[in-house]
Amino acid sequence: MQKKKSKMAFTSNFKQSWTTKKTNDTTILMGDFNAKIGAENKGYEEIIGTHGIDQMNQNGERFADLCALNQMVIGGSIFPHKNIHKVTWRSPDHTTENQIDHICSVKRFRRSFQDVRVIKGAYVSSDHHMIMTTLKLKLKKCPATNAVRKRYNDKLSKTKMFKGNFKLA
């Protein structure tokens, strides 16, 4: 019962945070969601790739629905890698491995993901492995504003007295 309340609290907090963000912001969501999204993406083709691990669990379904509702894509399932580079969690007895930590982005930035993989060599005092993503962002030049530039009177600088005051040597 307590777990269900915390899941509902997370969902409501996420929705509240999501509605307050600016629409032009590049949003990346990452963390330990305890959500197994699996390799089969039937019904979630636009959200989940085909390179997940194992089968989708209830948390995975909830997470996929949350991503679908907010137009997000789950990055770790897009790229083909060996399982060793997909497994984000290993049980203390090393018998169970899962992909339960995820990095997500808004769908319109899906092409920004160049790669998402697990880094095994990074030492963190946890049973989770670190996830790394490579992004390629194409930043656009800000359009020039139509503000009128302030013009300076340069006639004064051309007078002999002015030139004499600033003459070097």
Q: pLDDT band at residue 167, thresholds of 50, 70 and 90?
A: low
Residue with the two structure tokens 């790229």: 79
Res 158 pLDDT > 80: no
In Å, how far are 33, 38, 77, 78, 145 from 120, measured between CA atoms?
19, 21, 18, 19, 48
- Dihedral, 26, 31, 35, 39 alpha carbons, nearest 10: 60
**What does the mean pLDDT of the chain come to?**
85
Instruction: Check if the beta carbon of residue 51 is closer than 8 Å to that of residue 80.
Output: yes
Per-residue pLDDT tens for 87-138?
999 888 889 999 999 999 988 888 888 999 998 877 777 888 889 999 898 8
Res 153 pLDDT > 90: no
CA proximity to 121, closest of 106, 132, 110 = 132
Res 73 pLDDT > 90: yes
- Per-residue pLDDT, 133: 92
DSSP codes joined into one string, 67-103 = HHHTTEEEGGGTS---GGGT--EE-TTS--EE--EEE
3-state class (DSSP) for residue 28: strand
Name which residue leads in pLDDT, 147 or 35. Answer: 35
Q: If you average pLDDT over residues 128-157, what whole number do you get?
A: 81
Of the chain, the percentage scoring pLDDT greater than 70 comes to: 93
